Amino acid sequence: MDSTNRTDALNPVQGVIWMLVTGILFVGVTALVKLLGTRIPPAESAFLRYLLGLVFLVPMLPALRQTSITPRMHALFMGRGIVHSGGVMLWFFAMTQIPLAEVTAMNYLSPIYVTIGAALFLGEKMAARRIAAIGMALIGALIILRPGFREISPGHIAMLFTAVAFGGSYLIAKFTVDAANPAVVVAMLSIWVTIGLAPFALAVWVTPTLAELGILFGVACLATAGHYTMSMAFKAAPVTVTQPVTFLQLVWATALGALAFNEAVDMWVVTGGTLILGSVTFITWREAVLKRRQITPPDPATKL
């Protein structure tokens, strides 16, 4: 499809609607994990989420059977699975430690880490405006954490490393998407993360109830649906249109945390999250203006 036809095919309103739905689905994921509670260890919860989610790979089996994967690609898929497994475990742990709004706000840091990693490992140039945007995002993180003014919990530390892990996972994916069918990339991530989480889950295994399995299957369903609607949003409209809509995830997470889980509304978290997302949006917009190959992912691209 040439650029003219691609432009004609765009539908910004439709893209915004799809991204709104995506945000609701991903906030639903966090709500279900919070509802699950702390009886099931985070590593086991993460493992069961991916194990139950393997059912969604069934439609991808024909593509997997027809794909010849080189040893290098196998190594990349495995490496990404290991990195992503660490991020998933840390995310599930953070969900048991800190409010929904803080998890959501700090997850916005992943695209910032991708930008830094792209400069360090992929040779992408760092213009002054991009460096300034990264600086603003880091200030946003400091506003959320407020070191010296409140206790920084293990959940906050976990989210900082979660964002690093998801950013690393995305960077590794950049080496695979051009050489493999996207369905294969998604399927291999799910398979390798399930394998990577298995030993950690078995080490702390607690037999789940049917209700807990139902909640975790719901997590898998919402996450899968969220990735689908996100892809529809990107197909319908430019990332520069859909990116700002992701801010509403922070609004919904804050409201849900207050109404459903009795979590206090912290305006410092909202302010810091706004700064971080504003920085991500600016970097994404600059990429579009300069017509360079996009390396900074939209926030939902680094989700579970």
Domain definitions of the chain by residue range? 3-302
Q: With cut-offs at 50, 70 and 90, classify the pLDDT of residue 1.
A: very low
Tokens, residue 16 = 């915004």
Residue 4 has pLDDT above 50, yes or no: no
Confidence (pLDDT) at 184? 82
Query: How far is Cα 167 from Cα 295, in angstroms, rounded to an integer?
Result: 11
Longest dimension (CA), the chain: 56
Query: How far is Cα 77 from Cα 188, in angstroms, rounded to an integer?
Result: 6
Amino acid at position 27, single letter: V
162 and 84 Cβ atoms separated by less than 8 Å: no
Ramachandran category for residue 68: left, alpha or beta (phi over 0 → left; psi -120 to 50 → alpha): beta
Span 232-286, pLDDT tens digits: 887 887 776 777 788 888 988 999 999 999 999 999 999 999 999 888 888 877 7
Residue % of the chain over a pLDDT of 70: 89
Most confident of the following: 101-105, 123-127, 198-202, 277-281? 198-202
Span 184-221, pLDDT tens digits: 888 888 999 999 999 999 999 999 999 999 999 999 99
The pTM score is 0.85
